[in-house]
């Protein structure tokens, strides 16, 4: 098993599952026990202020709450760029990771920026490896700009275009190729 921790899973054109169609998922952790990721390009219409205003020391209240995936949609995960990566529960790459759930009243860690996600993406043992073998996902190294993109709805096209070659062609594929 090759870990994909710190990489992006870019939904391939054949991945039609509505939970993941044209998504870009940051793999936060991938081991023999399974994988956990966050969908980076699904902002919701709900703002952080409407959902979790008590996190105002960490998050911009007018930012959207993102849909991290179909697993535990009522759970909140905060992804952050940490001043000290040791403050993270899990590090995906460099100093980008997820916050500890923490006890009420515990001081917040120092972060440069953060983003809130409702739910996450999860895979059981061997499941993500099988999906990668089938070609459901295209792998690309994650960057800070991907994790905190200011244009989340364009991220799928942006990352495929950056990857280049035939992937850049896929990025320009219409939503429904049959109408082309």
User: pLDDT per residue over 125-166, tens digit each?
Assistant: 999 999 999 999 999 999 999 999 999 999 999 999 999 998
Mean pLDDT of the chain: 92
Q: Tokens 């997820």 correspond to what residue?
A: 98
Other Cβ atoms closer than 10 A to 91:
18
Other Cβ atoms closer than 10 A to 131:
18
Does residue 28 surpass a pLDDT of 60? yes
* Span 54-93, pLDDT tens digits: 888 888 899 999 999 999 999 999 999 999 999 999 999 9
Domains of the chain: 7-173 (3.40.1740.10)
Q: What is the C-alpha to C-alpha distance for residues 140 and 42, in angstroms, rounded to an integer?
A: 18
Cβ-in-10-Å burial (0-12, 13-18, 19+) of 63 comes to middle
Q: What is the C-alpha to C-alpha distance for residues 163 and 77, in angstroms, rounded to an integer?
A: 28
Q: Among residues 88, 83, 78, 87, which one has the least CA distance to residue 38?
A: 78
Which pLDDT band holds residue 107 (cuts at 50, 70, 90)?
low
pLDDT of residue 103: 43
- Both structure tokens of 6: 């710190």
- Both structure tokens of 87: 């403050």
Q: How far apart, in Å, are the Cα atoms of 150 and each of 36, 38, 75, 155, 158?
A: 23, 16, 23, 9, 12
Which pLDDT band holds residue 171 (cuts at 50, 70, 90)?
confident
Q: What is the C-alpha to C-alpha distance for residues 81 and 87, in angstroms, rounded to an integer?
A: 10
């Amino acid at each position: 098993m090759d870990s994909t921790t710190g990489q992006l899973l870019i939904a391939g054109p054949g991945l039609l599952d509505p939970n993941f169609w044209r998504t870009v998922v940051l793999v936060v952790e991938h081991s023999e026990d399974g994988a956990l990721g966050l969908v980076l390009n699904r902002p919701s219409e709900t703002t952080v202020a409407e959902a979790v205003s008590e996190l105002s020391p960490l998050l911009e209240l007018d930012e959207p709450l993102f849909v991290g995936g179909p697993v535990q949609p009522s759970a909140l995960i905060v992804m952050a760029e940490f001043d000290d990566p040791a403050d993270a529960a899990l590090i995906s790459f460099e100093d980008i990771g997820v916050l500890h759930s923490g006890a009420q009243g515990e001081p917040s860690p120092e972060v440069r920026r953060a983003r809130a996600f409702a739910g996450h993406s999860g895979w059981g043992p061997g499941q993500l490896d099988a999906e990668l073998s089938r070609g459901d996902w295209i792998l690309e190294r994650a960057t800070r700009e991907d994790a905190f993109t200011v244009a989340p709805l364009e991220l799928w096209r942006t990352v495929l275009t950056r990857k280049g070659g035939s992937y850049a062609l896929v990025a320009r594929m219409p939503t429904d190729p049959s109408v082309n």
